[in-house]
Amino acid sequence: MTRLLIALIALLSINTVAFGHSKMSGSTPEDGATVEAGLAAVSLTFDRKVRLTRVMLAAAPAEMTLAAVMSDVEALENQAEIGVLSELPKGFVEETEIDFDPLIPGVYKLHWIAVAQDGHTMEGKVHFAVESAD
Ligand SMILES: [Cu+2]
């Protein structure tokens, strides 16, 4: 029993080291959220400072649902990239806002790439749906 406990603690420690670098702790809208038309910014929050190197916003093909976009990576080949208006922060930040022209109804994916302060490159995606206000 003690041996099992030690093995378990060792395993947990390894995980702590492996995932010790920064990660995204949240976004607005959240991944999987549905928001009203007119959304013009996505904010990203990280648990430790990162330097964003690339942010891409893309609209999914019109026939795709949010659930399909979240689960089917291949289908995003036909996505239309949308211009991001804001410049990425030059230094390391814990939070940033990505601005763009107000979005029309549709399903979108925001893909970000960042470097953590420990030098690791990280990336992630936020998927969300924009629906018409009526
Ligand atoms: Cu790291």
For the domain that residue 26 is a member of, what is the CATH number? 2.60.40.1220
Range of the domain at 112: 22-131
| Domain-located, residue 4 | no
Number of domains observed in the structure of the chain? 1
| Domain-located, residue 3 | no
13 has a pLDDT exceeding 80: no
* Separation of CA 125 and ligand 1 centre (Å): 18
Tell me which residues have their CB within 5 A of the ion that is ligand 1. 21, 116, 118, 120
* Separation of CA 75 and ligand 1 centre (Å): 30
* Separation of CA 24 and ligand 1 centre (Å): 12
pLDDT tens across 65-122, in order? 999 888 866 555 667 888 888 889 999 999 999 999 999 999 999 999 999 999 999 9
| Domain-located, residue 13 | no
| Domain-located, residue 12 | no
Q: Which residue has the higher pLDDT, 23 or 11?
A: 23
State residue 1's pLDDT score: 62
| Domain-located, residue 36 | yes
| Domain-located, residue 9 | no
CA-CA distances (angstroms) from residue 99 to 52, 77, 88, 92, 114?
14, 23, 10, 18, 17
